[in-house]
Amino acid sequence: MNLYGIEGAVVRDLADFNHPSTVCSIPACDNSACSQTRLKTQYVTYQFADSAHLSYWATALDESGFALFVFDMRTGSVSTELALHTYSSAITQAAWSPDGTRLTYQLEVEPGVVEWHMVFRSLDKTLARYDRSSGSDGSLVGFSADGQYVAEYESLGTPSTWRIRILSVAGGTTAKELAGVSAAVWGAAGSRLYFQSDAGVQVWNGATNQLDTVLPGYQWLRPQASADGKRIAFTLFRGSGIGVLDIATGNVLEPISGARFDPRFLTSDLIWSRTLDTHETYIFDLTTGKESPSIDYLFFDAFPHTLAQLSA
């Protein structure tokens, strides 16, 4: 996250939220770690690979293109995980598997053409190639909590032709293709994918290949799952505001906060959000029902992501 009044990004320990502490800062922009001078931008796509390693995209050491760096928060060392030797290529999405051994990402290889990749044991495999010159868009849903599946969302044409493609990680084959769907997120346990469809909010269970309707006729945006597997927070479809789905009961608490969007779980009980116009940020405590201003003006990622990581 970025904190008001402090330059650069930091990692914060929120185990005791009343007494948070800064674990470390992201490596300074010098040639020993990476070069950002040419781009004149901050690092992009900060993500936890596991509890001790943080990844980010930046300029390669030899300034030949972009690279994915992995920062060891215990030692302060930085290593290059993946180098892309072209400035014309742009990483649009990236996600790590729950065990931190696999990386999936999307790469714009030329204007309007995007490739979907997966990296495992230094082998970079192209999963699919898409022509988006027609104005379609897409994004990664990422890996399921059990690491068995990886998914990508493609919005090609009209909403009826939008699709989510789910691949088996082990074989790379298509496990499921869902048509006319959007706004998806993996639950924090097992292989349950929650998504928006014409029927409402539905869930696909990878263990049984079964589809069920969770919220009939309901619409949501930007869903985010809590690491304890209990909740999904989302932006309300009708206007601004945030709702929270209780996965066990199917009940929805809304709005927990008005004029907010883009909710993220800092912890399983604390939801960070921001306003659309003024860019003010807030934290809502689900245990007390109270909201307070946040000193975190940019939020990138939180760890753990899944119930298994939370229990480890």
Q: Do 125 and 159 have their domain in common? A: yes
What span, in angstroms and rounded, lies between the C-alpha atoms of 235 and 76?
36
Q: Where are the beta strands (DSSP E) in 15-148?
A: 21-25, 44-48, 53-59, 66-72, 78-84, 90-96, 102-110, 113-120, 123-131, 137-143
Q: Do 97 and 164 have their domain in common? A: yes
Q: What is the pTM of this model?
A: 0.91
Residue 166 in domain: yes
Secondary structure element (H or E) that encloses residue 311, with its range:
helix 307-311
Q: Do 73 and 109 have their domain in common? A: no
Length of the chain in terms of residues written: 312
Residue 161 in domain: yes
Q: Minimum mean pLDDT among 13-17, 210-214, 237-241: which range?
A: 237-241
Phi, psi of 269, rounded to the nearest 5 degrees = -115, -10
How many distinct structural domains can be found in the chain? 3
Q: What is the pLDDT of residue 62?
A: 64
Q: Do 309 and 261 have their domain in common? A: yes
87, 110, 126 — which closes off a domain?
87
User: Which residues does 287 contact at the CB level (< 8 Å), separation at least 6?
Assistant: 269
Q: What is the pLDDT of residue 33?
A: 39
- pLDDT by residue (tens digit) across 119-171? 998 888 999 888 776 555 668 899 999 999 999 998 877 788 889 999 999 98
Residue 29 has pLDDT above 60, yes or no: no
- Answer with the residue of higher pLDDT: 122 or 310: 310
Q: What is the pLDDT of residue 129?
A: 86
Contact present, 209 and 203 (Cβ < 8 Å): no
Question: What percent of the chain is predicted at pLDDT more than 90?
Answer: 53
Contact present, 270 and 285 (Cβ < 8 Å): yes
Q: Do 83 and 121 have their domain in common? A: no
Residue 252 in domain: yes
Residue 10 in domain: yes
Q: Residue 123 belongs to a domain with what CATH number?
A: 2.120.10.30
Confidence of residue 41 (pLDDT cuts 50, 70, 90): very low
Cα of 158 vs its chain's centroid, Å: 25
Residue 79 in domain: yes
Rg (CA), the chain: 19
Residue 108 in domain: yes
Secondary structure element (H or E) that encloses residue 154, with its range:
strand 149-155
Q: Do 187 and 129 have their domain in common? A: yes
- Residues 298-303, mean pLDDT to the nearest whole number: 92
176, 191, 206 — which closes off a domain?
191
Residue 183 has pLDDT above 60, yes or no: yes
Q: Do 111 and 124 have their domain in common? A: yes
Q: Do 59 and 93 have their domain in common? A: no
Q: Do 101 and 174 have their domain in common? A: yes
Q: Do 255 and 293 have their domain in common? A: yes
Residue 34 has pLDDT above 60, yes or no: no
Q: What is the pLDDT of residue 61?
A: 63
Domain containing residue 150: 89-191
Q: Do 111 and 173 have their domain in common? A: yes
Beta bridge partners of 37: none
Residue 30, token pair as written in the block: 């010098």
Residue 208 in domain: no
CB-CB neighbours of 180 under 10 Å:
15
Residue 212 in domain: no
153, 172, 191 — which closes off a domain?
191
- pLDDT by residue (tens digit) across 75-122? 888 888 887 655 555 666 889 999 999 999 888 787 778 889 999 988
Q: Do 76 and 126 have their domain in common? A: no
233-248: b or e for each residue (b if 16 or more CB lie within 10 Å)?
bbbbeeebbbbbbebe
- Residues 177-185, mean pLDDT to the nearest whole number: 95
- pLDDT by residue (tens digit) across 218-234? 999 999 999 999 999 99
Q: In which residue are the tokens 């690279």 written?
A: 67
